[in-house]
Amino acid sequence: MQGAQVTAIAYETVQRDDGILPLLEPMSEVAGRLAAQVGAEYLDKSHNGRGVLMGGVPGVAPAEVVVVGAGIVGSNAVKVAVGTGAHVTVLDLNVERLRWLDDIHQGRVATLVSSPKILDDAAVGADLLIGAVLVPGRSAPKVIKRSTIAAMPKGSVFVDVAIDQGGCAETSRPTTLSDPIYVEEGVQHYCVANLPALVPRTSTLALTNATLPYLLEIANLGTEEAMRQDESLLRGLNTYRGDITYPAVAESQDQSWHEVILDS
Amino acid sequence: MQGAQVTAIAYETVQRDDGILPLLEPMSEVAGRLAAQVGAEYLDKSHNGRGVLMGGVPGVAPAEVVVVGAGIVGSNAVKVAVGTGAHVTVLDLNVERLRWLDDIHQGRVATLVSSPKILDDAAVGADLLIGAVLVPGRSAPKVIKRSTIAAMPKGSVFVDVAIDQGGCAETSRPTTLSDPIYVEEGVQHYCVANLPALVPRTSTLALTNATLPYLLEIANLGTEEAMRQDESLLRGLNTYRGDITYPAVAESQDQSWHEVILDS
Amino acid sequence: MQGAQVTAIAYETVQRDDGILPLLEPMSEVAGRLAAQVGAEYLDKSHNGRGVLMGGVPGVAPAEVVVVGAGIVGSNAVKVAVGTGAHVTVLDLNVERLRWLDDIHQGRVATLVSSPKILDDAAVGADLLIGAVLVPGRSAPKVIKRSTIAAMPKGSVFVDVAIDQGGCAETSRPTTLSDPIYVEEGVQHYCVANLPALVPRTSTLALTNATLPYLLEIANLGTEEAMRQDESLLRGLNTYRGDITYPAVAESQDQSWHEVILDS
Amino acid sequence: MQGAQVTAIAYETVQRDDGILPLLEPMSEVAGRLAAQVGAEYLDKSHNGRGVLMGGVPGVAPAEVVVVGAGIVGSNAVKVAVGTGAHVTVLDLNVERLRWLDDIHQGRVATLVSSPKILDDAAVGADLLIGAVLVPGRSAPKVIKRSTIAAMPKGSVFVDVAIDQGGCAETSRPTTLSDPIYVEEGVQHYCVANLPALVPRTSTLALTNATLPYLLEIANLGTEEAMRQDESLLRGLNTYRGDITYPAVAESQDQSWHEVILDS
Amino acid sequence: MQGAQVTAIAYETVQRDDGILPLLEPMSEVAGRLAAQVGAEYLDKSHNGRGVLMGGVPGVAPAEVVVVGAGIVGSNAVKVAVGTGAHVTVLDLNVERLRWLDDIHQGRVATLVSSPKILDDAAVGADLLIGAVLVPGRSAPKVIKRSTIAAMPKGSVFVDVAIDQGGCAETSRPTTLSDPIYVEEGVQHYCVANLPALVPRTSTLALTNATLPYLLEIANLGTEEAMRQDESLLRGLNTYRGDITYPAVAESQDQSWHEVILDS
Amino acid sequence: MQGAQVTAIAYETVQRDDGILPLLEPMSEVAGRLAAQVGAEYLDKSHNGRGVLMGGVPGVAPAEVVVVGAGIVGSNAVKVAVGTGAHVTVLDLNVERLRWLDDIHQGRVATLVSSPKILDDAAVGADLLIGAVLVPGRSAPKVIKRSTIAAMPKGSVFVDVAIDQGGCAETSRPTTLSDPIYVEEGVQHYCVANLPALVPRTSTLALTNATLPYLLEIANLGTEEAMRQDESLLRGLNTYRGDITYPAVAESQDQSWHEVILDS
């Protein structure tokens, strides 16, 4: 790469002043919504699930859905799960996010500040458990214990959207779209690392929406000037004229990295 | 009364072709809405309740409210309980009523076709249990067992709106507005027979709304002609020119009754 | 059967005075809700669909869902499709049903009185088309033409809930849970005859809710007396003491049938 | 205290960078929701109120509820009042807060930028007036005049949630849970200083949710290091090793205070 | 006509068993929705109105809209008025209709059982008053008095949708689309007899939806047989083979009428 | 002006730290809501429009409304258009705004990240197109091409709320309240520069709400001190003691400007 003098800005490292990763956000929205949809699918009998319908029907109780994490992934999973008529509980450490969900769903969703005991109490009764605990740039914490999974009803479903970052359950291991599921402790685990690939048409449009403004900046200004004017791009710089400039990348490649000094 | 040649039409016996008692309906609406409000009140600590808030707050689970019966009383109780943010489950034998509630609340309420086991399972976890099982013209069935009440959390509340007709729990006995509550099996029982008296301004208007059309008929046509033209009134006739004409009244007074032959 | 002197009341023929088949209704509710869920599933890439997400995400258009028929099946399909965030259009000949949907969804759903041209115009742009045209006791009319299906986008999905009654599209043929899908004119056809079998836990409870009142009547009164008191049961009688009493059954078996004369 | 070398961080003075008092917020949520509930209670006849039901019933007008202040207390009071079916008007000087309420309630609530005349016009017709005007760290302004209270209907209710800070009406004086009410100018005044004590189960959980993260910081890092890393805690420091460090506390105790110099 | 032996079925007299006039209903829906829209228009200054915006904006009170009549016209007017953010009150004598509106609007609309005093109290504060009191086949009652109109704010608007049947206010007289408005007692009166003509595209489709099924019956069966099989059509017969068969038509033409004896 | 030593702060240049123009915001809210209302009006036949009703009626499709821009103007236009029952699509470059709209409308509105092609595809099918693309302090970009307008249905309506800043369509030119409309490419153009003047009562109150706090500051502190304490006012200073202090004003008057040095 050094020989090629490559200057590379990586999607997943472009970062705004407020810490948000704007090119990952739309993928989190897609993944969150899909998590509820895929969970519903694996609850049915043809997928060896418990055979319960998300919203039940009048006279029959709806499914219990528990979403761990109220970030972008989690709040999008909540939106779709609520839409199907399920009874939804969402947990997070951040009470501000829960207030937001309470406001826009007007009491339709139960919100709980998470703790190991509260998470355990909520999860053991779940037909569908969605893991959406993501810490930007770090491994997901293993907040869901094996014992919790083991206490869930047989045939229930766990979807781990944090699997890209190692998963947020002790029982999680990555699966693929072609072989998406495994059973552990009697619970179906759906741990596909790249969920948005299920809906490429929607995902591509969403990604393009987020990417296009940055592409236009680079096309109009040239790479250097674009990075000068927009620090989001500069933060996303991984290699500059062949040198690695992103410490985490250097570290993972066991190489050294250089401070960026943009050419004028 | 016979000497006085009284012709009397009783409020609670006026009945439409479709079986509805139009002068009782608005009182059922008031009672249902009050049941949820009064239940919330007795859940607080100053009333010796469990000390839980109906809707919780973001991060803290809402109260569990179970309404037994989805008729006019029950569906009005549901409406207010949902409005406070509680998690509400409603039971009835009539799945049509549950469909209706599912439609207008759009999945916000859990609906269950009732059976002794299902009722028991739902009720034992309730912070607030509302009994709204009313069979027109008959004693309310004792669908809520003493053992169910005993299994509810200490300090939880049971409001029996069916107390006018004997109550729908084995533990119910009538109370009064001045001494409304007693504790049985650790559960506060609110069994005031005349709930709408709590809000006389609203109740009087509601009752007048329902009564006025009949009064106008009688005023405009005279009693006989009004009954001829509107069978609802005729069905409500209790005494005619001094004779008892309503079998149930006669029976309860241990007297005989006469077929009505209206004067021309 | 005649030798065995069997008296049989068939689920699917029990019928109320208002023409409703009370033991089929809950299955229609389950099937309608599942139709939207299954349709969403087959839109994804792992099922060879178009790869679109029902609700899209902010900035990306939602899927177009068209539901043909606004009866119990159709209105339940609408409910779940709306919940996922899709743009939903529903067609029916009966404007009363459409008014009802407009009232409870408050303008959230586009409603169209159906005609061949209007149906065709709506369907050709659909990502997901749901056939819910059921005429009780008759073959479903083939209201969806092959040319309409052929004009839909490649990879779109058609779910035919009317397949039990022969299907409502010219391209429909029954499939099974183990082999649920086939492609015709570039559109995935999901025509599983017994959709509720996907969620047996929910379906069994729903069916039991509807059946139990009739079972109790029979258990308490005996079969004859139950049929005498409840014409719904009598209408559902297929064989009585070994003789076929239901014309359509006799006809399909090429046998003769007898008028019912209940023993006293 | 100086002898004891106490280092004390007070709940009500922990403050985030954005000025929010994170340990008071959940209590404001509880108090706001309770204000609407308690107000409904005191409107009933057994509490000597006007005898009106919050939501009325179909055909009878709902109660008029006016909430002064659209902060956390006020917006939570609005949420519950709206849920009961009342007609709710909310006033604030901050139009941004009103925009927010208009957005999440979608026009269901009337919002008014407050001025003495507008407040007066709105309040005199109220069945229930809720005072939720709180200025962090200061006495509440007396925005509700005695003449306004006097113009309200006899038997109406005023709940002053700002009573902790002296109350926001000229007629307010603190009451207690055991003797919560007094009548002034014909209006029932409910001015209990510690409303959340009514629902200790909910309040304790809400408070713990907010407190736990700070406790964990202190437990994991030690008090000094925790304050170094999290200025919210440092701002909440009242005494350090026996010296008063919080000016307002020193002032109210008529003592001197010291700048904090944390030990290294 | 007699010479021509004309057989004529009139749109506005086709009537179902339940009394509904199916070919007028869609026009009532259109007219009701337009009434709210046109009323909003004439409230603006360019139309000499009061200059108020239906929904106000956050911080400014919304317009007061009062709808008299909760039938098809009135409930459609309510729907649009609510949608604009106005504060809406609806009055009717029929509490069942008000219950229905309360259910689907979930307390968003104030409902009042009408009486002269209640109507007067509600109307005098209205920015927009919509008259939707229609009695099928009769002159509309003059429920809105001149004195009520005179007490409304100057520049407020009254839309009389009942003008086809003579209008429901003492101050109403028919106007035309080309000269739609006049001022009486300081209030703008919009009394266009044929409101649906404003939106011919929508109206024609709506009318066709309702008409087509009857046309198909006539086309498929012939006029006589269609009337035999569908009494709705028979009720709508105005002339048969040149003789007038509809009493009201005969009366208004001062002619005699004949009993229908359909040819076989 | 210099002779008069005028110190002038201009409404439209008062600006908060976050860039918001607080005295223009309420006018944007009014204009946005009016845009939808006025658009509906000009769709009717008496205004030479297409003759479609915003919400259609049950069985007839609603109007297609496309709003370009999701700022304050656009999101208020969306709110009213949704309320009338129309099918609404909103476009913006800023996906955060679209997320917000998706959250509060819960999927009721289609949101699209704008691009020339996407805008064109959406607009050509619109019955009503609302231009709400405003860039503070600059000419509005001409994002809507003449060819797009030309492709819209004949009789459709375009409301350009950005006309104050030159308009956001190639076909826009300012009109007045007394002559508000012109037809270009078969589409009615409503380009009134001062929309809020249509509802002066609402607009004046809204403007006063926003202005009063600044007036009070100036009245209480004097102009200089008020500007010292509140930079929003200082930013809005146009002339100080006769000298122009606002570069854009100086430039447009072809004069020089001076740095502000406030007197002490």
Q: How far apart are CA A155 and CA A153, in angstroms?
A: 6
Confidence of residue F136 (pLDDT cuts 50, 70, 90): low
Phi, psi (deg, nearest 5) at residue E77: -65, -40
Does the pLDDT of residue D1 top 50, yes or no? no
Place of tokens 């072609």: A178
Q: Do chains B and F touch (3 or more CB pairs under 8 A)?
A: no
pLDDT of residue F1: 46
Q: How far is CA D199 from the centre of its chain?
A: 15
E86 part of contact set with chain F, CB < 8 Å: no
Q: Is some CB atom of chain A closer than 8 A to the CB atom of F104? A: yes
Is the CB of F104 less than 8 angstroms away from the CB of D107? no
Mean pLDDT (chain F) is 93
CA distance, residue C121 to nearest chain F CA (Å): 12
- The reported pLDDT for the residue numbered E211 is 92
Q: Do chains C and E touch (3 or more CB pairs under 8 A)?
A: yes
**CB within 8 Å of E203: residues ≥ 6 apart:** E26, E27, E30, E196, E197, F51, F53
Would the CB atoms of B93 and C26 count as touching at under 8 Å? no
pLDDT tens digits, F59-106:
999 999 999 999 999 999 999 999 999 999 999 999 999 999 999 998
Residue of F nearest to E79 (CA): F84
Residue E2 pLDDT greater than 60, yes or no: no
Closest residue to D113, CB basis, from F83, F104, F209: F209
Question: Tens digits of per-residue pLDDT, B163-200?
Answer: 988 999 999 999 999 999 999 999 999 999 899 999 99
Query: Are the Cβ atoms of F213 and D93 closer than 8 angstroms?
Result: yes
Mutate to test the interface with F, among C99, C102, C121 (most CBs of F within 10 A): C102
Bridge partners of residue C57, in order along the sequence: C60
How confident is residue E25, by pLDDT bands cut at 50, 70 and 90? very high
| Averaged pLDDT score across all residues of chain A | 93
Res A251: pLDDT: 85
Regarding predicted confidence, which is higher, A143 or C13?
A143
CB D157 within 8 A of CB D63: no
Query: What confidence score (pLDDT) does residue A71 get?
Result: 95
Mutation pick from E104, E212, E215 vs chain C, by most beta carbons of C within 10 Å, is: E104
Residues 6 or more apart whose CB falls under 8 angstroms from that of E5 comprise E241, E242
Tell me the chain B residues in contact with residue C104 when contact means C-beta distances shorter than 8 Å. 103-104, 106
Q: What is the Cα–Cα distance from B28 to C7, expressed in whole angstroms?
A: 44
**Residue in the block written with tokens 């869930």:** A152
The residues, any chain, with a CB within 8 Å of residue D117's CB and separated by 6 or more, are none
φ, ψ of residue F189 to 5 degrees: the values are: -105, 125
Query: What pLDDT, on the 0 to 100 scale, is given for residue D78?
Result: 98
pLDDT at A1 over 50: no
Residue B98 has pLDDT above 70, yes or no: yes
Q: Flag if C80 and A83 touch (Cβ within 8 Å).
A: yes
B104–E107 CB contact, under 8 Å? no
Q: What is the pLDDT of residues E112-159, one digit of tens each?
A: 999 999 999 999 999 999 999 987 667 889 999 999 999 999 999 999
Average pLDDT over residues C24-50: 97
CA-nearest residue to F114 within chain C is C59
Nearest residue to D124 (alpha-carbon basis) of D92, D147, D143, D148: D148
Q: What is the pLDDT of residues A130-140, one digit of tens each?
A: 999 987 667 88
Are the CB atoms for D62 and E110 separated by under 8 Å? yes
The pLDDT of D194-212, averaged and rounded, is 94
Task: Inspect the interface and report whether the beta carbons of E93 and B213 lie closer than 8 Å.
Answer: yes
Average pLDDT over residues A26-39: 97
- % of chain D exceeding 70 in pLDDT: 98
Token pair listed for F238: 């146009």
Interface with D, mutate which of F100, F104, F212, F232 (most D CBs under 10 A): F104
Closest to F108 (Cβ–Cβ): which among C59, C108, C113? C108
Tell me the Ramachandran region of residue A25: left when phi exceeds 0, alpha when psi lies from -120 to 50, beta otherwise: alpha
Structure tokens at C186: 């570039």
pLDDT given for residue C136 in this prediction: 65
- Whether B19 has a pLDDT exceeding 90, the answer reads no
C51 touching A (Cβ < 8 Å):
yes
> Does residue F8 have a pLDDT over 70?
yes
Neighbouring chains of F at 3+ CB pairs under 8 Å are A, C, D, E
Q: What is the pLDDT of residues D107-136, one digit of tens each?
A: 899 999 999 999 999 999 999 999 999 876
Q: Determine whether the interchain pair D53/B43 forms a contact, defined as Cβ–Cβ distance below 8 Å.
A: no
pLDDT, tens only, C125-142: 999 999 999 876 678 899
- Say yes or no for a CB contact (<8 Å) between B202 and D177: no
Report the pLDDT value the prediction gives residue A260, as an integer from 0 to 100.
85
Chain C residues in contact with B110 by the CB 8 A cut-off are: none
- Among C103, C104, C113, beta carbon nearest to E209: C113
Q: Is the CB of D128 inside 8 Å of chain B's CB atoms?
A: no
User: Which candidate from C58, C95, C102 shows the least CB-CB separation from F102?
Assistant: C58
Name the residue with higher pLDDT: A27 or E264.
Answer: A27
Q: Of F57, F76, F83, which has the smallest distance from its Cβ to E202's Cβ?
A: F57
The whole-number average pLDDT for the span C232-244 is 92
Give partners of B (≥3 CB pairs < 8 A).
A, C, D, E
Tell me: pLDDT of C264 over 90: no
Please answer whether residues E106 and E100 qualify as being in contact, where contact means their C-beta atoms are separated by less than 8 angstroms. Answer: no
A254 is written with which tokens? 């066991």
Distance from C-alpha of D182 to C-alpha of D48, rounded to nearest angstrom:
11
Whether E1 shows a pLDDT value over 60: the answer reads no
Give the residue from A66, A59, A69 showing the smallest Cα distance to A89.
A66
- pLDDT of the residue at D262: 82
* C-alpha distance from A4 to closest chain C C-alpha (Å): 37
**Mean local confidence (pLDDT), D230-257:** 90
pLDDT tens profile A77-91: 999 999 999 999 999
Is residue D52 within 8 Å of D170, Cβ to Cβ? no
Of D95, D103, D106, the CB nearest to F210: D95
* CB contacts, 8 Å: D55 with chain E: 107
Cα pseudo-dihedral B202, B208, B211, B215, rounded to 10:
170
* CA distances, A82 to each of A30, A32, A260, C82 (Å): 16, 13, 47, 11
- Per-residue model confidence as pLDDT tens digits over E215-237: 999 999 999 999 999 999 999 99
| pLDDT band per the 50, 70, 90 thresholds, residue D68 | very high
Would you say the C-alpha torsion E2, E6, E11, E16 has a positive or negative sign?
positive
Contact of A179 with chain C, judged by CB distance below 8 Å, is answered with: no
Would you state the structure tokens that stand for residue F103, as one six-digit string?
């959250």
Mean model confidence pLDDT for chain D: 93
Per-residue pLDDT of F103-112, as tens digits, reads 999 889 999 9
Asked if F118 has any chain A CB less than 8 Å from its own CB, the reply is no
- Which tokens belong to A176? 């693929």
Q: For residue A21, is pLDDT > 90?
A: no
* Nearest chain B CA: its distance from E121 CA (Å): 15
| Runs of H (alpha helix) within chain D | 25-42, 72-83, 95-105, 116-123, 146-151, 200-221, 223-229, 231-235, 247-253
C-alpha to C-alpha distance for B88 and B79, rounded to whole angstroms: 9
What are the chain A neighbours of B89 within 8 Å (beta carbons)? 61
Closest CA to D168 of D119, D98, D124: D119
Q: Is A112 on the interface with B (CB under 8 A)?
A: yes
Model confidence at C78: pLDDT above 90: yes
The pLDDT of B30-55, averaged and rounded, is 97
pLDDT tens-digit series, residues E187-208: 999 999 899 999 999 999 999 9
At D264, the pLDDT band (50, 70, 90 cuts) reads: low
Instruction: Output the pLDDT for position B9.
Output: 93
What number of H helices and E strands is found in chain D?
9, 10
Instruction: For residue E125, give how far its alpha carbon lies from the nearest alpha carbon of chain D (Å).
Output: 14
Residues 5-24 (C) with a CB less than 8 A from some CB of E? none
Our measurement of the distance from residue D97's CA atom to the centroid of its chain's CA atoms, rounded to an integer in Å, reads 16
Q: Residue C1: what pLDDT?
A: 46
Alpha-carbon distance values, B251 to B11, B255, B258 (Å): 19, 6, 12
Q: Which chains touch A (3 or more CB pairs under 8 A)?
A: B, C, D, F
Sort out which chain C residues have CB atoms less than 8 A from F54's CB and list them: none
As given in the structure block, the two tokens for residue C142 are 């083939």
Q: What is the pLDDT of residue C44?
A: 97
Burial B204-236 (b: 16+ CB within 10 A, else e): ebbbebbeeebeebbeeeebeebbeebebbbbb
**Nearest CB to C95; choose among E83, E104, E210:** E210
Residue F262's pLDDT band (boundaries 50, 70, 90)? Answer: confident
C113 touches chain E (CB under 8 A): yes
pLDDT tens for A208-233 read 999 988 999 999 999 999 999 999 99
Candidates F60, F61, F112; nearest CB to C61 = F112
A26 touches chain F (CB under 8 A): yes
**What's the confidence (pLDDT) of residue C191?**
98
Q: Name chain C contacts of F59, Cβ cutoff 8 Å.
A: 95, 98-99, 111-113
With contact defined as beta carbons under 8 Å apart, do C78 and C70 qualify? yes
Q: Which residues of B touch E106 (CB under 8 A)?
A: 79, 104
CA–CA min distance A37, chain F (Å): 16
Whether C41 and chain A come into contact, CB under 8 Å, resolves to: yes
Residue where the block lists tokens 């899209």? C56
pTM: 0.94
ipTM reported for the complex, 2 dp: 0.91
Q: Where is mean pLDDT largest: A13-17, A103-107, B1-5, C47-51?
A: C47-51
pLDDT attached to residue E130: 98
Q: Is F160 helix (H, G, I), strand (E, B) or coil?
A: strand
C-alpha to C-alpha distance for D53 and D63, rounded to whole angstroms: 6
Nearest to D94 by CA among F231, F20, F210, F72: F210
Q: Which residue of C has its CA nearest to B93?
A: C209
